[in-house]
Amino acid sequence: MTALPTAEDLKAQIEAGVPGAQVTVIPNASPSAQHSLLLDHEHAPAVALFLRDHPDLRLDLCTLVTGVDWLDTETTEKIKVKKVVPGPVGAGIEQEVEETRKTKIPGYLEAVYHLFSMEKKHDPPAMPVVLRLRTANRIDQTHVPSLTPVWRSCEFQEREAFDLYGIVFDGHPDLRRILMWDGFEDYPMRKDYVPPADDSLASLPFASLQRASTKEAR
Amino acid sequence: MTGVAELERRVEAGEDGLGDILEVSMGPHHPSTHGVFRMDVRLEGEKVVRLKPVFGYLHRNHEKIAEHGAYLAAIPYTDRLDYLNSMTNNWGYVLAVEKLAGIPVPERAEYIRVIVAELSRFQNHAGLVGFLLQDMGASGTPLMYAFREREKILDLFESLSGARMMCNYMRFGGLRVDCTPAWLEEVRQLVSGLPKFVDEFEALLRGNEILMARTQGVGVLPRELAINAGVTGPMLRASGVNYDIRKVDHYGVYDRFDFRVPLGDHGDVYDRYMMRILEMRESLKILQQAVRDIPGGPIIDPKTRLRGLRPKAGEAYGRIEAPKGELGFFLISDGSTIPCRYRVRPPSMINLTILEDMCLGHNIADVVVILGSVDIVLGEVDR
Amino acid sequence: MFGEGIIQGLVETARNFFGSYVDKDRLVTVQYPEERHQLPEATRQFPFLLYDGADPEAGLRCVSCQICEKECPPQCIHIEKSKDKKPDFVGKLQFYPAVFNIDVSTCMSCQICVEVCPFDAIRMDNQFELSTSNRFAGLLYTKPELAKSNEYYRKIHPTEAAECDERRAKEAEEAKAKAAAAAAASAAKAAQAAATSPAGAANGASGNGTASTPVEQPAGKKPVTQ
């Protein structure tokens, strides 16, 4: 049983071990304190290999792969800006003006990987190592590199993330829908998913009864 | 039906050797698939040359349902994941919430959790071994013996939680109701009688020549592949990897009990079968100690808010050693009463990743046995 | 010897077969429906509504707070609040459910409604033979079908019901004592007012008047947050 390096140390190790890799530590404020590492697409497979084969880390078990959907968010903040306002005499006067600035943060899809080591069995508090990969947006640039070549356990779970979130894993050997049927088009786990209106269930007699008897689903 | 389309394409292309290749769609309504599960199998004679598992027939988007309700409302839904082991499913989920919100658990609750989880493991393994033997053609007899003992455990669950299978028993910070001394006495009595059952059950088939011929050397899962494919639970340990989350994560009060982790040597179906029998014995050991040592005290942390729980924004991954493998729950909170992301790590789905590797080169009749030894429950695979 | 294992297994089978005639542990099944297992007290199937006294309408404990409706995971409860109020067991005026429906075809018997109810108004039944020839309306339980008496509750869950009754008796007593104390206090206040100011005599009458009407008391048991 050995302790695992902290997220910051891991970042340093990765950056030393994989030249060019950009790693960002994403802190986690909850009591679990499971911080995660955001990887860049280009070096992600190399970083994954590094983590798997490093003699002290040996993160050989990629236990959980999941998609997460982050919608577009808009933040409004009031900021004070210095502006030159035309003065009464013609000359500009510098004045502090309060402005509301709206920043639109585009949403993205995220693939999250949880790693453990079967060989080293690190002490639990620092576990697991969490890796994150983010897509550029939610609409057309939804590609991330697949880590299935590194950990076979990602195979079905990446397929599931593709099926339910629409994250495309480049380099996955067999990227097909897994839970939904082949002809299905939408991605049901996305936050803005709307079930089709012509739900075949609605035509069944109990659907109308249910609607009368219970409130509409939240 | 991609297989059929492929075959048609090849027939139209006038390829040779088509007479040797046969596409078989096993399932979804096949008695050996343990539920609505399908395997697209390509056979050359009777040998399997390709096998693709197809599932999702029982998909109900469990995760989406949980992301629409409060933290409390997800507990009864977790019962329905692996519907044979609602107690361990509850535990995995409440453990993740406890990590996410930093909720302590009283000692008595931890002991009762261990008791119900080990009873659950016992009945799961007994049932699985019964099903596995049924798949091999030992029609009914072992399965009924296993179910007879399982029945006694389900009766205990019913008198404790009110339901036999959908227990909905655990809560974050503890448990829903306390157990009575009379219930503990019943557990003690049952546990003292169960080793006899395991002995009998082992004697029934351990030395059976037909069983050995059907299982030994069949469906071998090499150690390295098992690790790389994220296989967990008895499947992994049958391949000789010493990894039991009860020992590794020290969750609950498992540290206080003296028990051993059985390990296999060959990673074949016979090892996986024996692994379940040995784990049943270890579970009984834990149960005897837990029933003996259980302390008094409250069963739920008094400060826990069950209704309207609002964990701080953040995320947590909690996992336990469920009877089928590593059962994990990943939760992301955005500070509201509804989880922002709720994800289950289903052990039986991930254990299916290597089904093809285990089946290649074996006869189609062995596929049934190999699948039986994986121990899947479709409620969990499809969610 | 080849076949030894098979013979050993057959010996086990024989032991189980003959054992099932004498050993109760080897034969756990009963001939349902002629014979029945005794259900454990904790058994739960579907929810029902409790009422006190003889009249299911007047004695219904539900105050239509709709907490269970909100918390129900499969959303199978539908409640419509009444327009008027009626007194509850401590004498406080409360709403009552004009409509209370449970769709048992959706209900998953999870007992969360029972746990969250602060008024001891909803409990789990142990009836399981509920098959009906009407697939839809037959499984939608309305208020008359749901209302069951406290005696029934005592019969099916004796321990739990005893605890519940004791707690409610205590609450009612406390509420009564509180009401009496408040009445006494306001009477004393009125008397004092009448004594100190000559003009207060006229007010005294109204003061006594207030005291004699049933005083609205906060319910002894606050809605529990758990």
SS3 per-residue string spanning C175-226: HHHHHHHHHHHHHHHHHHHHHHCCCHHHHHHHHHHHHHCCCCCCCCCCCCCC
Tokens read off for A203: 């035509």
Express each pLDDT in B200-257 by its tens digit: 888 887 778 888 888 888 888 888 889 988 899 899 999 988 888 888 888 888 888 9
Reported as a pLDDT band with limits 50, 70 and 90, residue A199 is: low
Torsion sign, CA atoms B38, B44, B48, B52: negative
User: Chain A partners of B326 at a C-beta cutoff of 8 Å?
Assistant: 63
Q: Which residues contact C112 (CB under 8 A, 6 or more apart)?
A: B72, B73, B76, B168, C68, C71, C72, C73
Measured distance CA(C14)–CA(B211) in Å, rounded: 19
Which pair of tokens denotes residue C163? Answer: 């605890």
d(CA C124, CA B273): 40
Nearest chain C residue to A212 by CA: give it: C78
- Contact (CB<8Å) B227/A118: yes
pLDDT-based confidence at C215, cuts 50/70/90?
very low
Give the Cα separation of B125 and B102 in Å (integer).
33
Q: Note the helical H segments in chain A.
A: 7-17, 44-53, 154-165, 205-213
Directed axis angle between helix B107-136 and helix B181-205, to 10°?
30
Task: Output the pLDDT for position B119.
Answer: 92
Q: How confident is the model at residue A89 (pLDDT cuts 50, 70, 90)?
A: low
Mean pLDDT, chain C, integer: 79
Name the β-bridge partners of B344. Answer: B329
Domains in chain C, ordered, with CATH? 47-150 (3.30.70.3270)
Which residues make beta-bridge pairs with C122? C49
Over residues A22-42, the mean pLDDT reads 83
Q: Taking 50 as the threshold, does the pLDDT of residue C220 lie above it?
A: no
**B250: phi > 0 → left, psi -120 to 50 → alpha, else beta; which?**
left
For C64-111, the pLDDT digits (tens) are 888 888 888 888 888 888 888 777 777 777 788 888 888 888 888 888
Q: What is the number of other CB atoms lying within 10 angstroms of the CB of residue B315?
A: 27
How far is B56 from A179, CA to CA, in rounded Å? 4
Nearest CB neighbour to C76, from listed A205, A214, A218: A214
Out of C25, C42, C71, name the one closest to residue B307 (CB). Answer: C71
Q: What is the mean pLDDT of residues A68-79?
A: 79
What mean pLDDT do residues C118-134 have? 86
Q: Reply yes or no on whether the pLDDT at A68 is more than 50.
A: yes
CA distance B263 to chain A (A): 14
Report the pLDDT value the prediction gives residue B330, as an integer from 0 to 100: 92
Q: With H, G, I as helix, E, B as strand and everything else as coil, classify residue B277.
A: helix
Tell me the chain B residues in contact with residue C1 when contact means C-beta distances shorter than 8 Å: none
Strand A36-39 to A129-134 pairing? parallel
B338 near C CB under 8 A: no
- Whether the pLDDT of residue A201 is over 80: the answer is no
Which residues of chain B have a CB within 8 Å of the CB of A218?
Answer: 68-69
What's the pLDDT band for C188 if we cut at 50, 70, 90? confident
A178 contacts in chain B (CB < 8 Å): 55-56
Bridge partners of B24, per DSSP, are B41
Interacting residues of B251 by C-beta distance below 8 A, sequence separation 6+:
A124, B95, B245, B320
In chain A, what residues touch B314 (CB-CB under 8 Å)?
A: 28-32
Q: Is there a contact between B77 and C73 if contact means CB atoms under 8 Å apart? A: yes
Give how far C136 is from chain A: nearest CA, Å: 6
- Pick C78's closest partner by Cβ from A205, A206, A215: A215
Q: Chain B window 73-92: which residues touch C at a Cβ cutoff of 8 Å?
A: 73-77, 79-80
Indicate the burial class of C53 (C-beta count within 10 angstroms; 0-12, 13-18, 19 or more): exposed
**pLDDT value of position B6:** 67
Q: Are C46 and C124 in contact (CB under 8 A)?
A: yes
A61 vs B214: CA distance, rounded Å: 31
Nearest CA-CA distance, residue B74 and chain C, Å? 7
Q: What is the pLDDT of residue B94?
A: 92
- Among residues of chain C, what percentage have pLDDT more than 90? 0
**Per the structure block, which two tokens stand in for C218?**
């906060």
pLDDT at C205: 42
Size of interface A-C (CB pairs under 8 A): 25
Residue stretches of chain B with pLDDT short of 70:
1-8, 10-12, 14-20
Q: Residue A16: which of A59, A61, A46 has the closest Cα?
A: A46
Residue B122 is predicted with a pLDDT of: 92
Give me the pLDDT at residue C197, please.
Answer: 62
- Tokens in use for A146? 């697949």
Q: Give the range among A128-137, C57-66, C82-91 with minimum mean pLDDT.
A: C82-91
